[in-house]
Amino acid sequence: MDRRYLSTREAAEVLRTTPGNLANMRMRGEGPAFIKQKRKCLYDIRDIENWLDHRRIRSADD
């Protein structure tokens, strides 16, 4: 099982947002799951993909 971990900057690029906005999402508990390693936050690419999949809107009424 090969895991790919992204830095906050890399994760923000994937999500098309800024590292600062991603940090704010972390503080509010709104973003994808992350791993805290000392002062660094890492994101598993699968957690990002899963978070995006759960935010998918299938129709304008959703």
pTM over 0.95: no
pLDDT tens-place values along the chain, 62 residues long: 567 999 999 999 999 999 999 999 999 999 999 999 999 999 999 999 999 999 988 877 75
The phi-psi region of residue 43 (left if phi > 0; otherwise alpha if psi is between -120 and 50; otherwise beta) is beta
Q: Which residue has the tokens 């906050």?
A: 8
Q: Which two tokens stand for residue 6?
A: 């992204």
CA atoms of 42 and 11, how far apart (whole Å): 8
Query: Helices 45-54 and 8-15 meet at what angle, rounded to 10?
Result: 30
Q: Which two tokens stand for residue 9?
A: 């900057």
DSSP letter assigned to residue 61: T
